[in-house]
Amino acid sequence: MDTLSYKTKSAKKHEVDRKWHIIDAEGEIVGRMCTTIATILRGKHKAQYTPHVDTGDYVIVINADKVRFTGSKWDQKEYLRYSGYPGGQKRRTASEAMAKKPFFVVENAVRGMLPKNKLGRAMFKKLFVYAGAEHPHGAQKPEALKIKS
């Protein structure tokens, strides 16, 4: 009788080895860049990916104010929010959002690509977006990551 058994190994929360990645968003297309960021935050780029465990890495995005959209999305793409009161729906175009909060466009796109539960909120906390080229995470020694476009 053959006693070989092949079992899938699930990652444990305390066994996860996390790295820090830095992405320069200058000239990058928002959607393509954010899919890569969401993949890294979820941990799907690792062999030990487990859906119910946060196996992802930390991501730092710099120059978020220099991202780009294709086509005429700067004027046509709208971000909606609702206060809960009648007539309380507000709209903001991508160009207005970028002028007010440059990091919002990237954060909003990545948040929409993560799971909508506690695990997704924990993954989102590992994302750090900065409008300029400066960031306070030098001590973590982040590795530069090039986006394939």
CA dihedral for 124, 127, 131, 137, sign (positive or negative): positive
11 in a structural domain: no
Whether 47 and 85 have beta carbons less than 8 Å apart is answered as no
9 in a structural domain: no
Distance in angstroms (rounded) separating the CA atoms of residues 39 and 137:
21
94 in a structural domain: yes
12 in a structural domain: no
- Chain segment 70-127, per-residue pLDDT in tens: 999 999 999 999 999 999 999 999 999 999 999 999 999 999 999 999 999 999 999 9
Q: What is the pTM assigned to this prediction?
A: 0.91
CATH number where 59 lies? 3.90.1180.10
Count of domains for the chain: 1
The parent domain of residue 101 ranges over 17-144
111 in a structural domain: yes
Closest by alpha carbon to 42, among 56, 62, 30?
56
